[in-house]
Amino acid sequence: MGSVKDLEVIRKPTRDKMGVGRFIFSDRYSVFDWGEMPDLIEGKGQALCMMGAYCFERLEERGVRTHYRGLVDGKDRVVRFDELKEPSNVMEINSVNVYRPKAIVKEGKLVYDYSAYTPRLTNFLIPLEIIYRNGLPEGSSVFKRLEQGMITVEDLGLDHYPKAGERLEKPIFDVSTKLEEKDRYVNWAEAQEIAGLTEREVDEVKDLLLEVDKLITELAGRARLVNEDGKIELAFDPERRLMVVDIVGTLDECRFTYDGLHVSKEIARQFYRKTSWYMDVEEAKKRAEKEGTEEWKRLCKSKPQDLDSTLKRLISQMYKAAANAISERELFASSRLGDIIQQYKQFLASGQ
């Protein structure tokens, strides 16, 4: 299925009928599109599963359609969040078809054929990641794209050049590809063309993104977390109605901060940005783009090292504490998130 979770297929989807599957969340993690990293973060899989399930159930209460069916308990029963006696790392979902765009080399450049996506297609994963930005914390891709001239201040709807840590008066909506070898930011006109969306459906996507953003912001506030940005994935059901799929509201899908410090996968990204492996990754991606190949990892000169052991323990505790606080339920034996943040501050002050 992917670098951090696996998919068990119970019933395959057909052209006009959804299937049934189960996500099995692991303790694996991934950064910079690398895939599975060399070590594990204990308890991460269960924490992601529980946070995601809680958010799905709250979205459904607001009338938002999702692919969520329930959590799988120790007796292989599908139950609701409040019925579960102990944390689970297995979630049952309705599944749809995934049509991968064909990669082709055209005039020496790698391009993708999205001709399968039309306004008549139903029961499929939309090949986009839909992103909201309520703030621009340090590490946001927006700054890198501005520096490289990939976007302008006007594209962002801003009247000034943003600063790291800035909060936005209204959220910025962004979009990138989902099923290419390397995620690629696109504008909304290209996104509409890629996915075969109508003008009305683009508006519906943005309305749905805003609704999810609002809910996650509310839930995160319970843990004193600031919802800086996040992503959702969407699909069309057999009646071509939008529904939220994959997983939402977790420390992997969202960038949360607490007193200005990251409480998300961004912590691991920051650790690896200081390594020579990260520089090799950036160089390999650039080289692959010039050579018109998808296989950038083959061009990378090194492999990632393990996370610092103290940092790995703190990240594990953050996932568990955030799941407890957001759901307002003691799912995991964990210190309070505020106490873990203090330990993280001490770790950073030590210069490790």
pLDDT (tens digit per residue) in 154-176: 888 888 899 888 899 899 999 99
Looking at domain 5-349, its CATH superfamily turns out to be ATP-grasp fold, B domain (3.30.470.20)
Of 183, 66, 178, nearest in space to 126 by CA: 178
- Is 60 exceeded by the pLDDT of residue 101? yes
pLDDT attached to residue 49: 97
pLDDT attached to residue 219: 96
pTM here is 0.90
Strands in the chain per DSSP E: 5-11, 19-25, 68-72, 78-79, 90-95, 102-106, 109-113, 124-125, 128-136, 166-177, 226-236, 242-245, 254-258, 261-262
Q: What is the pLDDT of residues 256-289, one digit of tens each?
A: 999 989 998 889 999 999 999 999 999 999 998 8
Cα(21)–Cα(24) distance, integer angstroms: 10
**Residue 14 burial (C-beta neighbours within 10 Å; 0-12, 13-18, 19+):** exposed
CA angle 95, 326, 320 (to 5 degrees): 85
pLDDT attached to residue 292: 80
- Is 90 exceeded by the pLDDT of residue 4? no
Could you tell me what percentage of the chain is helix, strand and coil, using 3-state DSSP and rounding each to the nearest 5?
A: 35, 25, 40
- Is 90 exceeded by the pLDDT of residue 87? yes
Cα(79)–Cα(206) distance, integer angstroms: 31
CB of 111 closer than 8 Å to CB of 174 = no
| 337-349 helix and 309-327 helix, angle to the nearest 10 degrees | 160
Which residues, 6 or more positions from 89, have their beta carbon under 8 angstroms from its beta carbon? Answer: 24, 25, 26, 45, 46, 48, 49
- Is 90 exceeded by the pLDDT of residue 131? yes
Q: What is the pLDDT of residues 36-70, one digit of tens each?
A: 999 999 999 999 999 999 999 999 999 999 999 99
Cα separations in angstroms, 105 against 191, 225, 285, 335: 20, 44, 16, 52
Confidence of residue 1 (pLDDT cuts 50, 70, 90): low
- Is 70 exceeded by the pLDDT of residue 301? yes
Of 177, 184, 201, 194, nearest in space to 117 by CA: 194
- Residue-averaged pLDDT of the chain: 93
Cα(282)–Cα(306) distance, integer angstroms: 19
Cα(44)–Cα(317) distance, integer angstroms: 9
Position of tokens 């990669």? 103
- In this prediction, what percent of the chain has a pLDDT beyond 70? 99
Domain residue limits, the chain: 5-349
- Is 60 exceeded by the pLDDT of residue 192? yes
Average pLDDT, integer, range 329-349? 94
pLDDT attached to residue 352: 63
Would you call 124 helix, strand, or coil by DSSP? strand
